[in-house]
């Protein structure tokens, strides 16, 4: 895998709210980032070459899938649906054939026939890596946010202030709900996310989208509440969640799959590395050479200090499947470092070995207004 240089502008944070309703929040976000959202959808070859042709083909297969998907999510999460309506209106980007499609990309791509797919690849993995530990001397979660090259320069931070005065911060892909990547809220709850690849016989059409579940997690009041929100949603495909609670100093890795299957692993003193494979939920999954290579490489690297964790996430020893990715298809957009003892979330841009911190947030629980 070669590397290429890509322009990266400084990550912008937009504070929004309290708003009169979810539509207004989405509208203000869409207006603020209209240029970025338009640029992202134009550059997104997965959207243009796969998602839009499938949706606009108006076949019985595509129409039934999209109808079921949209109905299920609009019914379960009407406020987040309204938020997307606002984002589409504010940005001027069409809702049905662009904004909704990028928000449900994983739930749609899994059902697009592979034969005759237009474009260079249908491999659309968001190949993130996490290394976490909860020991006596440190409690750390470190996360590489890896994505398709189309997302480089097309992300922002949203600080959403809710009507009750509580807030969340989410790293957000342009045009999508916060956050399909990582975030935290004023209850002192944080999360990072990794995609996982269930096999075709393990997925169910028309379930709840992962973007909607993670948006819901941004409003969870506690670890138990977060787990409950995950368990209440019948997903189409699968996901891996690292749930982090500062006040209890605990980290859970949660793997999910369709038909309400879930496995919860509490992280302890032994460092735990998670790429894009199921590790503890028994399930048939797609053979992913990239994830297996990263998992193998991580297993031999030292993991005794915060510096070791950042060095691991910056590792480029495997030229074909490096942990820190520089293209041409997949890029590490940034690294998030969550320290439960310092109660901070730091965002590092560039290789985390060099430690160029661009943002630091307190994730200590806030008292209710």
CB 228 within 8 A of CB 241: no
Mean pLDDT, each 10-residue run in order, the chain (369 residues): 48 97 98 98 95 94 96 98 98 96 96 64 67 97 96 97 96 97 98 95 96 98 98 94 98 97 98 96 93 96 96 97 94 98 97 94 87
Give per-residue burial for 330-355: e unless 16+ CB within 10 Å, then b: bbbbbbbbbbbebbbbbbbbebbbeb
How far is Cα 238 from Cα 101, in angstroms, rounded to an integer?
18
pLDDT at 121: 42
pLDDT score for 119:
44
Task: State the DSSP code for 208.
Answer: B
**pLDDT value, residue 264:** 98
Helix, strand, coil content of the chain in percent (nearest 5):
35, 25, 40
How far is it, in rounded angstroms, from Cα 183 to Cα 217? 9
Predicted pLDDT of residue 5: 39
pLDDT score at 72:
97
Asked if residues 308 and 314 have their Cβ atoms less than 8 Å apart, the reply is: no
Residue 330: per-residue pLDDT:
94
In the three-class reduction of DSSP (H, G, I as helix; E, B as strand; rest coil), residue 263 is classed as strand
The dotted CATH code for 129-362 is 3.60.60.10
pLDDT of residue 9: 64
For residue 360, give every residue at least 6 positions away whose Cβ sits within 8 Å of its Cβ, in sequence order, or none. Answer: 344, 345, 346, 347
């Amino acid at each position: 895998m070669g590397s290429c240089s890509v322009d990266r502008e400084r990550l912008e944070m937009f504070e929004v709210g309290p708003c009169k309703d979810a539509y207004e929040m989405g509208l203000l976000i869409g207006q603020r980032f209209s240029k970025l959202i338009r640029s992202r959808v134009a550059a997104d070859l997965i959207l243009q070459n796969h998602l839009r042709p499938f949706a606009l083909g108006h076949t019985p297969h595509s129409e039934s899938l999209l109808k079921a998907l949209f109905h299920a999510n609009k019914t379960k999460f009407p406020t987040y649906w309204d938020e997307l309506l606002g984002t589409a209106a504010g940005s001027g980007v069409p809702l049905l054939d662009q904004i909704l499609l990028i928000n449900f990309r994983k739930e749609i791509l899994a059902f697009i026939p592979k034969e005759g797919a237009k474009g260079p690849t249908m491999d659309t993995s968001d190949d993130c890596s996490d290394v976490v530990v909860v020991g006596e001397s440190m409690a750390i979660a470190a996360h590489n946010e890896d994505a398709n090259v189309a997302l480089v320069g097309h992300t922002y931070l949203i600080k959403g202030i809710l009507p009750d005065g509580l807030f969340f911060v989410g790293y957000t892909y342009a045009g999508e709900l916060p956050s399909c990547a990582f975030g935290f809220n004023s209850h002192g709850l944080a999360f990072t996310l990794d995609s996982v690849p269930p096999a075709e016989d393990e997925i169910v059409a028309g379930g709840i989208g992962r973007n909607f579940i993670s948006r819901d997690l941004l409003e969870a009041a506690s670890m138990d509440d977060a787990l409950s929100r995950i368990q209440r949603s019948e997903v189409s495909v699968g996901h891996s969640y690292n749930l982090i609670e500062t006040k209890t100093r605990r980290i859970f890795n949660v793997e999910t799959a369709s038909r309400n299957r879930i496995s919860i692993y509490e992280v302890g003193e032994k460092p735990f590395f998670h790429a894009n494979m199921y590790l503890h939920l028994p399930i048939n999954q797609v053979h992913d050479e990239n994830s297996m290579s990263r998992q193998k490489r991580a297993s031999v690297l030292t993991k005794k200090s915060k510096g070791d964790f950042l060095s691991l996430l910056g590792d480029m020893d495997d030229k074909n499947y490096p942990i820190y990715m520089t293209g041409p298809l997949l890029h590490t957009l940034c690294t998030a470092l969550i320290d439960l003892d310092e109660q901070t979330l730091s965002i590092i841009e560039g290789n985390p070995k060099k430690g160029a911190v661009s943002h630091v947030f307190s994730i200590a629980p806030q008292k209710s207004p």
